[in-house]
Amino acid sequence: MNLIVAEKRKTSPRVSSKNGAKEIYYPESDGKPIAETDFHIKTIINLHQTLEIFLKEKSDVRVFSDIMFYYEKGSPHKSIAPDVMIVSGISKHLRRVFKLWEENVPDVIFEISSRGTWQEDLQKKYLLYESFGVKEYCIFDPEYDYLPEPFIAFHLKNKNFKQAKIKNGGIFSPSLGLEIVDTGETLRLFNQVTRSFLPTMEELAKQATRAEELESEVEKLKAELGKLREQK
C-alpha cells in the first residue's frame, strides 16, 4: 500500500464464476482520494508508521491504513475505508482488502476528519464501528476547524460507545497501552513507560543522522589523540 498516492484506481464490483459457483469480487478501491489535504495525509502516515514500529515485535497485530473494509459477506457495496486501524489476533501478511467475516474486529480505529468527512465520521462510521464492537474509536481534526472538539474519543462499554473524557489533551488507550495526545499541532502517541512520545520516521531519521555525526566526531577525536601520543 502506498500512502503517498493521491488518487486510488476506481474499480467496480463484479461476480465471476469459479468451478461452476459464483464468486463475488470485492474491489480494492473506491476511487476516492486517500486524504483531502497535506495535514490529513501527514497525520495518517505518522500514525501508521509510529504504530507499526511500536508493534513490530507483536506477530499477531496489524496496522492498516485506508484499506477497503468489507463488513457484510456477499455485499461488495457495504464497505468503508478507515484512515488507520489496529487489529489484533490476526497475521501480518499483506492483504488486498479487509473482510470482517474473515478477520477480527478492529481494536482501535482513527478517523482523521476533514471538511468533507467529519459528519460521516460522527454519524455513519460511529454507528458502524459501534455495531462491529470496535473497542476504541478516535476522531481527530488536524485543521482544528470542523469538529465540535478537535479530538474526540469513544470507548466501548456494554456494546455501546461512551465518549471518553480527555484530560490535558490526552486519553489513555487500554488496547494500545499508549496515551493518545492532541498536542495542539497534531495527534501523537505517548509511551508512559519511557515517558516520551513515540518517534515519527522523520524524527528517527534525524536521530540516525545525528548519531552518524557523533560517531564521526568521536573518530576524529581518536585520530587527534593518536597524533598527540605519537608526538610525545
Cell triple for 21: 459457483
**pLDDT category of residue 1 using cuts at 50, 70 and 90:** very low
Query: So what's the pLDDT on residue 4?
Result: 34
**pLDDT category of residue 217 using cuts at 50, 70 and 90:** low
Ramachandran area for residue 14 (φ above 0: left; ψ -120 to 50: alpha; else beta) = beta
Query: So what's the pLDDT on residue 5?
Result: 35
Pairing of strands 98-99, 69-70: parallel
Dist. CA 143–CA 150, nearest whole Å: 8
pLDDT digits (tens, 9 = 90+) for 124-168: 999 999 999 999 999 999 999 989 999 999 999 999 999 999 999
Dist. CA 112–CA 162, nearest whole Å: 19
Dist. CA 80–CA 68, nearest whole Å: 6
Mean pLDDT, residues 64-83 taken together: 96
Query: So what's the pLDDT on residue 121?
Result: 97
Q: Show the CA angle centred on residue 40, arms to residues 94 and 118, nearest 5°.
A: 105
Mean pLDDT, residues 13-29 taken together: 69
CB 171 within 8 A of CB 180: yes
Indicate if the pLDDT at residue 7 is higher than 90.
no
**pLDDT category of residue 3 using cuts at 50, 70 and 90:** very low
Cβ neighbours for 76, distance < 8 A, ≥ 6 positions apart: 13, 24, 25, 26, 27, 70
**pLDDT category of residue 219 using cuts at 50, 70 and 90:** low
Ramachandran area for residue 38 (φ above 0: left; ψ -120 to 50: alpha; else beta) = alpha
Indicate if the pLDDT at residue 192 is higher than 50.
yes
Residue with the larger pLDDT of the pair 12 and 31? 31
Indicate if the pLDDT at residue 8 is higher than 60.
no
Tell me which residue of 167, 206, 165, 172 sits closest to 191, measured CA to CA: 172
Query: So what's the pLDDT on residue 214?
Result: 54
What is the rounded average pLDDT for all residues in the chain? 86
Cell triple for 86: 489496529
Query: 3-state class of 180 per DSSP?
Result: strand
CB 28 within 8 A of CB 68: yes
**pLDDT category of residue 211 using cuts at 50, 70 and 90:** low
Element (H, E) at 171: strand 170-173
Residue with the larger pLDDT of the pair 118 and 213? 118
CB 178 within 8 A of CB 190: yes
pLDDT digits (tens, 9 = 90+) for 24-55: 999 998 877 666 788 899 999 999 999 999 99
Indicate if the pLDDT at residue 17 is higher than 80.
no
The string of DSSP letters for 17-45 reads EETTEEEEE--S-BS-BS-SSHHHHHHHH
45 phi/psi in degrees, rounded to 5:
-65, -45
Cell 460511529, located at residue: 126
Query: So what's the pLDDT on residue 175?
Result: 97
Indicate if the pLDDT at residue 207 is higher than 90.
no
